[in-house]
Structure 1
Amino acid sequence: MARKSILVVDDEKNQREILETILSGEGYDVTTASSGEAAMKFVESRRFDLVLTDLKMTGMSGLDLLKELTNFDRSIIVILLTAHGSVDSAVDALRLGAFDYLQKPYDSEKLLETVSRALNKLTALDTEIVSVSPEMDKVKKLILKIAKSNSTVLIRGESGTGKELIARSMHKNSLRGNETFQAVNCAAINENLLESELFGHEKGAFTGAVGEKKGLFEIANNGTLFLDEIGELDIALQAKLLRALQEKEIRRVGGVKEIPVDVRVLAATNRDLLKMTEEKRFREDLYYRLNVLSIEIPPLRERRTDIPALIEYFVKKHTRGSDRKIEIDASARELLENYHYPGNVRQLESAIERAILLCENDRITSDDLPPEMVPTGRVPSSSENGDELFKLPPEGVSFEDVEKSLIMQAMERTDGNITKSAKLLGLTFRTLQYRLEKFGIKKDQTENEEDGDS
């Protein structure tokens, strides 16, 4: 497993050197900073699992540093070192989210025990995956259970849910964490070239093969190979992949020699592989070889409590290294937090990045968001006879009944025009089309195209 990284912060050089010696001697990756300000620059440029800071320092105090760290990344664990008589401040630190505090003078054994206890609480997942939802907590716990296994894992989820992030977290928590992680998108490479990309080729194996080339299986030897969009793999290449997984050896294109490899394979898909096996489009034996262990990532719309935390994370991510302090006004935040995100986390990040580039005076408004997130038509508050289109449902009426009723009203108002109804409801054409099918609402309209709505 990769070494845990610790940032030591103290304005006394002697104390920094002592702590660095003790912690480095236990195998930790230690960085030192002489002030809270310097510590924040380190934190903004790289990730740390734990920060060990003195409480009283010139300039930014340890308590102020704790606040800054908490605002920047809640997953960083903080331990404070306090002088005798500073217990009240230490208690304040615990209230602010510090893991623990140690009183000076401390002995090295007590220090190491506290650090070890803190890091046992920490996982690489906590530092990489931004989430607060119970749905993602279940995913994290499952990943931790299976990370140290060498078995193949199939990661399922819609596009944009973060399947590669899960794979990287699993690698980092594994016994192969210090070895290489290689990723390939099986859908992004021509099937004629993908075999060479995975298994390599010998000189002259095909036109353009002017020299020998190692494939990703060889490059990732002793590490992890992530095969994204595995459902797009050609059926003939599936057989070769199956043999590599079973025999733990590969043969380069045009080669005659078997090359042993020790690679853990993680695969991901947004498709129903089991259904594909029934349709003879995916090998059943490969499916079960890949699906020894599986992880299902819920779409963002099913873990909406993660959206506010992700918004803040992406704002910080895309302003890191600049002095911009981005604010999001109430209307824009409401749109961001209530959008349905068919593109999942990737779509949210793209929207935030776009808004940061377009916003004026470092303030994001609804005008800075992608058009699909902003209702394009004015929704009438009342019909000609005075009945409101949107009103609170009677007690006991389900959300689905309300949704169906609103859709039917919108379709009636637009004479069955899906495009106009979608704009009226603030939905995309495809989303409304899906809901019409879901509720079995008859589409009495003549449109055959989306009229540019997407």
Structure 2
Amino acid sequence: MTTLNPKSKLLLVEDDKSVSQTLRTILSEEGYEVSIAESIAKARELIQREYFHGVLLDLWLPDGNGLDFIKELREQLPLSPIIVITAHGKTEHVVRSIKEGAYDFLEKPFSMERLLLTLKKALEFSFGEEEGEEMVGNSRAVMAVKELIRKVAKSELSVLILGESGVGKELVARQIHRLSGRKRFVDLNCANLSDELFEAELFGYEKGAFTSAHSRKEGKLELAHEGTLFLDEIGDLSPKAQAKLLRVLETKQFSRLGGNQVITSNFRLISASNKDLKAMVEEGSFREDLYHRIAGVVIEVPPLRERKEDIPLLVEFFLKKYHCKKHFTEESLKLLKSHRWKGNVRELKNFVERLCILHEGEEVSKADVERFLGITYQEDLSELFEEKDLRTAKQKFEKLFIQKKLREYNGDVKKVAEVIGIDLSNLYRKIKLYGIEI
């Protein structure tokens, strides 16, 4: 089961201050971050500014009925479970709240054990039930992608998944397939495929169709009948291959290479690319008619740098995946969040796997993270050029320079002072001024 973030954010809509403060205290002790709204208007204001992973909603509020607010909550927070709490529960209220989209209904007074168990199950249900088959994360960006996945899964629309390498485009494709109920998932990576190899893989071939065709082979289209065909890196297809694919998408019919039998395949197409296909259409390197065929719905998967709040959750997920008992310090997690992650989630996964194999001890410090990431200072230096004030930029550079030299000489302050040519007392003063850890 997907691991939950210990800092899941909850919105408590409750006008009774004694009840709201008691609930916040208990829920905070359980690791939740709780915001309180004493009215519907205040709740509406909060959900415009923040994303909440779950909502506890009282029915009787000073400016309206909570039942009437459920629909609005579902629209604003589509994946966040709503648990209704009230001291005046009636059967019709229970029925209507569930019908409007609430996850559960608890009548006051209820035990905290029951509330905590209900909340835990609701969040687990919301975040996904099968480990490894859904994007890990509960940031607003990831929740938006998850909601779109659930909306399009049961349809017959073709889906185009866009995003940088390593963001998890295939994971999104597999999740759509899993929720669609189709029979099988058949994938083909189009990168670096010659036209001949693409056709052989897509259509299959008869024995003797070409020199190395020693037996009949079913193609991906045939195998994907009643299932999902996933074409990864579709932007790499040549104009000739694009034309062949377009013809199949229009008719859903084809023949194996070297054969005359017309085969019909009922497949659902999902494509992915790390390229800007619209720009390719404009420059003429990708067919516009093919683009419209494959892009019934477009899902853009955000890069890791745009959902940095998911990094601790992803680290925890990968640690459990590799059965690795490591503990990251706050400083080390802070450094992971500041890293650019050009390889996105794939790079983070490889980092955690490498650390699990090679790192001695259970605690992972900031220095350990730097060592395993092989951090240079190119990224930090790039930030200096964004500074408008020369004095501030010089101070930042001086701090980075001293930190680098201290690591280079294993924290030997006296040696560093000698190497960089300043008095030892002056170096100690700068270390204190910049808050540098030795």
More helix by share: 2
Amino acid at match of 1:230: I
Q: Which runs of 5+ in 1 are unaligned?
A: 1-42, 45-66, 68-73, 78-86, 102-116, 381-388, 391-398, 415-419, 425-454
Q: Which residue of 2 aligns with 1:198?
A: 202
- Report the Cα offset of residue 123 of structure 1: 5.5
Q: Deviations over 1:252-283 (max 9, x none)?
A: 11222210000001000110112212222111
Q: Deviations over 1:198-217 (max 9, x none)?
A: 11011111120001100111
**Residue number among 248, 251, 258 corresponding to 1:254 in the alignment:** 258
Matched, 1:282 2:286: yes
Matched, 1:148 2:161: no
Closer/same/farther in 2, CA of residues 92 and 119 from structure 1, 3 Å limit? closer
| SS in structure 2 at match of 1:262 | coil
| SS in structure 2 at match of 1:154 | strand
Q: Which residue of 2 aligns with 1:232?
A: 236
Q: Which residue of 2 aligns with 1:334?
A: 334
Closer/same/farther in 2, CA of residues 140 and 232 from structure 1, 3 Å limit? same
**Residue number among 146, 153, 163 corresponding to 1:157 in the alignment:** 163
Amino acid at match of 2:359: C
| SS in structure 1 at match of 2:337 | helix
Q: Which residue of 2 aligns with 1:91?
A: 111
Distance in 1, matches of 2:115 and 2:194, equals: 55
| SS in structure 2 at match of 1:253 | coil
Distance in 2, matches of 1:375 and 1:222, equals: 48
Closer/same/farther in 2, CA of residues 260 and 145 from structure 1, 3 Å limit? same
Amino acid at match of 2:262: E
Distance in 1, matches of 2:326 and 2:278, equals: 45
Amino acid at match of 1:294: V
Amino acid at match of 1:345: V
Q: Deviations over 1:61-115 (max 9, x none)?
A: xxxxxx9xxxxxx99x9xxxxxxxxx99x834344343599xxxxxxxxxxxxxx
Count of residue pairs brought into register by the alignment: 300
Instruction: Say whether the 8 Å CA contact 1:148–1:174 is kept in structure 2.
Output: yes
Instruction: Say whether the 8 Å CA contact 2:158–2:293 is kept in structure 1.
Output: yes
Matched, 1:168 2:179: no
Distance in 1, matches of 2:144 and 2:272, equals: 18
- Report the Cα offset of residue 373 of structure 1: 3.6
Amino acid at match of 2:362: D
Amino acid at match of 2:325: K
Distance in 1, matches of 2:235 and 2:285, equals: 9
Instruction: Say whether the 8 Å CA contact 2:230–2:270 is kept in structure 1.
Output: yes
Distance in 2, matches of 1:339 and 1:376, equals: 11
Amino acid at match of 2:356: I
Distance in 1, matches of 2:356 and 2:124, equals: 35
Closer/same/farther in 2, CA of residues 376 and 248 from structure 1, 3 Å limit? closer
Residue range with higher mean Cα deviation, 117-126 or 283-292: 117-126
| SS in structure 2 at match of 1:266 | strand
Alignment of 1:402-441 (within 5 A): 402-403=386-387, 409=393
Closer/same/farther in 2, CA of residues 400 and 171 from structure 1, 3 Å limit? farther
Distance in 2, matches of 1:205 and 1:378, equals: 54
| SS in structure 2 at match of 1:316 | helix
- Report the Cα offset of residue 163 of structure 1: 0.4
Q: Which residue of 1 aligns with 2:297?
A: 293
Instruction: Say whether the 8 Å CA contact 1:155–1:163 is kept in structure 2.
Output: yes
Closer/same/farther in 2, CA of residues 315 and 121 from structure 1, 3 Å limit? closer
- Report the Cα offset of residue 362 of structure 1: 3.1
Closer/same/farther in 2, CA of residues 145 and 408 from structure 1, 3 Å limit? same
Matched, 1:128 2:134: yes
Instruction: Say whether the 8 Å CA contact 2:384–2:393 is kept in structure 1.
Output: no
Alignment of 1:66-81 (within 5 A): none
Instruction: Say whether the 8 Å CA contact 1:366–1:374 is kept in structure 2.
Output: no
- Report the Cα offset of residue 185 of structure 1: 1.2
**Residue number among 298, 309, 318 corresponding to 2:322 in the alignment:** 318
| SS in structure 2 at match of 1:128 | coil
Q: Which residue of 1 aligns with 2:246?
A: 242
Closer/same/farther in 2, CA of residues 357 and 135 from structure 1, 3 Å limit? same
Distance in 1, matches of 2:339 and 2:304, equals: 10
Distance in 2, matches of 1:208 and 1:202, equals: 11
Instruction: Say whether the 8 Å CA contact 2:228–2:268 is kept in structure 1.
Output: yes
- Report the Cα offset of residue 161 of structure 1: 0.7
Distance in 2, matches of 1:364 and 1:318, equals: 16
Matched, 1:271 2:275: yes
Distance in 1, matches of 2:276 and 2:379, equals: 38
Q: Deviations over 1:218-254 (max 9, x none)?
A: 1111000111100011211111111111101122112
Distance in 2, matches of 1:407 and 1:168, equals: 51
**Residue number among 108, 120, 143 corresponding to 1:137 in the alignment:** 143
Q: Which residue of 1 aligns with 2:358?
A: 358
Amino acid at match of 2:116: L
- Report the Cα offset of residue 191 of structure 1: 3.9
Distance in 2, matches of 1:92 and 1:186, equals: 54
Give the CA RMSD over aligned residues.
4.1
Instruction: Say whether the 8 Å CA contact 2:234–2:271 is kept in structure 1.
Output: yes
Q: Which runs of 5+ in 2 are unaligned?
A: 3-29, 31-53, 55-78, 82-106, 406-438
Amino acid at match of 1:91: S
Residue range with higher mean Cα deviation, 358-367 or 163-172: 358-367
Distance in 2, matches of 1:242 and 1:130, equals: 34
Q: Which residue of 2 aligns with 1:39?
A: none
| SS in structure 1 at match of 2:166 | coil
TM-score, normalisation: structure 2: 0.59
